[in-house]
Structures are given as C-alpha cells and as structure tokens.
Structure 1
Amino acid sequence: MYYYGMIIKNAPYKFAEFQSMVFKYGKGDSLVNQYNSKTGDYQYMTKDGHLVKKHLHLNKDELLFLHRKASDLGFWDFPANEQPRDTSRKVVSPHYYMEFNYAHKSKKVLYDDAFDGDPSLKDANQRLIKEIQKVLDEAEIRQNK
C-alpha cells in the first residue's frame, strides 16, 4: 500500500493541479471537431455536414475520470507526435489532438489514426480517444435533458 501511495504522490501530473483538457479531431489537418474544458466551447461536424456549436460543461468527476484514464493508459509517456512513418501514402486519416493542462506543465499529443508505430501505443491512444468521446457524448445527453 505504501508503494502505490508513493507512486500516486510522486505522479508527474496530479489532479489537484489539473486546469483543463483540450480535445480536437478531424480528417487530415482539419481538426474542426473541438472541445475545451476551460471555456466549455464544444463544436463538431454532424454526419450531414452541419457545424454544431454549443457550451458543454464537464463536472469534476468526469474530468477526474479522464485524468485517471489518461494516467492508466500511460498518456504522460506518449510521444508528442504520433504520425505514420511512411509519408508517401496519400491517405487522409483521422487526426486527434489531446492536451491535458496542469498548474506547472502540460502534456500534448497529436495522434494520426494511420500511426504505424508500437501496436500497444496505438491501442492506448485509441482507448483514450474512445473514453474522451464517450464522456463528451454522455455529458451532452445529460445537458440536453
């Protein structure tokens, strides 16, 4: 128990210092779908091409969940830029930008869905992206009630 307590105490990113999270995604270089927890600004493109803009508030529990999920998946150790090595391919794949901001530091990752690096790193990115999207979807449903 002491060992895990020290790991948490010495964690590089502590939730007590958490300030905001930014999540952006889209095809290619167009990261038109965006959420910023500091401002609550949320915009996304619908399937039929309409841009929806709204204010979406994530509560402390949701932000804590995302902080812990990022920690569990090793987000703090992800490379900042995860792009495919083969740049000759002309496939336009989804890109994701994740940023967690704390009082004294930030962690930013740009992930390309065509990333051809370590499969476990690719899996961890995809799992974190799904969790962020799930939390945003659930918060939007809750807010619309």
Structure 2
Amino acid sequence: MTSRGKKIFLALSIIVPFLIYSIVYYTPMIKNAPYKSTEFVSIQYKWGVGKELANSYDSATGAYQYLNNKDSLVITNVKLRKNDISYLHNKANELGLWNFPDVIANRGADLKSDKVLRYEIQFNYQRKSKKVIILTDYNEIPKLKDVAIQMKTLVAQTINDAEERYTKKN
C-alpha cells in the first residue's frame, strides 16, 4: 500500500467514524439544551442588603434603579442590545451558571441580613428560568465564589456600559 493509500485508510477508519460519533452524540444535547439563546426573554439583576433590595435592573422593561454614592436613588431606563444579551448568555453558559446552586451562601446564613451584601441574578427563558442568590461573605468553596462573583461583575459591567451609551446619546 502506498503512503497516500495509508493516509486515506487512516482518515476513513479513524477520523470519519469520530466525526459521525460526535454528530450523533452531541446533536440531541444541543437541540435539547435547557437554556437556548433563541429563547431568551430577560435578565433581572438586584443587589443590596436587607429584605428589600434597593438596586435593580430588568432587561425586559429597561427599568434600572440604584443608589449612587450620595445615597440618592437614581431611576433610569437602559435597554441592552442583542449582542449584550448574547454576550451575557454565552458567558453564563461558559461559566456554568446553569449548574450553580440556587443559593451561594454559608450554611445557616441569613439571606435577608442587613450586614451582608446580596446579589440576585435571574435569567428568564421561554420555558425555564435560572435564579442565583449570592452572598458576598460566602467562603465554603472558593472556586464557586470566584466564578459567581465573575458572573455578577460581567452582568453589572454590561448594564453600566449600556447606561453610559444611553447617557452619551442624550
């Protein structure tokens, strides 16, 4: 058998079956993914301390309210672009937000504490939603805390960038 014949045989016996296997195995997973970007409805993001969180954002309505550094409540309307939403969905997928526990807090922690900063992130889709509550004093699994804080930072930064775009236009 010639060198070229060996290469063709190798390709047909190893590479082609691997490609077929990959397509057959992964296609149903992708089709049945629980959180699809095409089914995205909105993202809700809240933060603060205590029972009522004073700071919030809802991408469905664009309602954005937060306490500024002078403790004055700022109420504005900020809409995210499609590429912002796609970016957040892809980052949530990359960081594994769908596998996060619903509450990231130390055992026995008071979720409504006036002393601990709390973040709530909720991704809403047509068939499902995923809500994660993060307490900043969490210290049980450092890697989980780091990834959760990274997700929180990405959401906050995306909203703040969108707000800057809106304020520059006006």
Residue of structure 2 equivalent to 1:56: 78
Structure 1 pair 104–91 and aligned structure 2 pair: CA distance change class (3 A): closer
The answer as to whether partners of 1:80 and 1:110 remain within 8 angstroms in 2 is: yes
Quick check: which has more Rg, 1 or 2?
Answer: 2
Q: Does 1:125 align with 2:148?
A: yes
Report SS of the residue matched to 1:136: helix
| Larger deviation, residues 49-58 vs 9-18 | 9-18
Structure 1 pair 91–41 and aligned structure 2 pair: CA distance change class (3 A): closer
The answer as to whether partners of 1:19 and 1:101 remain within 8 angstroms in 2 is: yes
Question: What amino acid is the match of 1:19?
Answer: V
Runs of 5+ unmatched residues, structure 2: 1-18
Residue of structure 1 equivalent to 2:127: 104
CA distance in 1, matches of 2:32, 2:140: 29
Residue of structure 2 equivalent to 1:75: 97
CA distance in 2, matches of 1:52, 1:77: 34
Q: Which has the higher strand share?
A: 1
CA distance in 1, matches of 2:157, 2:50: 22
Q: Which has the higher helix share?
A: 2
Query: Could you say what the CA RMSD is over the residues aligned between the two structures, in angstroms?
Result: 2.1
TM-score (norm 2): 0.77
Q: Which has the higher contact order (CA 8 A, sep 6+)?
A: 1
CA distance in 1, matches of 2:138, 2:114: 12
The answer as to whether partners of 2:49 and 2:116 remain within 8 angstroms in 1 is: yes
The answer as to whether partners of 1:85 and 1:116 remain within 8 angstroms in 2 is: no
Pick one of 58, 68, 74 that aligns with 1:46.
68
TM-score (norm 1): 0.90
Report SS of the residue matched to 2:127: coil
Residue-by-residue CA offset, 1:21-51 (whole Å, 9 max, x unaligned): 0000012434111000011100000111100
Runs of 5+ unmatched residues, structure 1: none
Residue of structure 2 equivalent to 1:66: 88
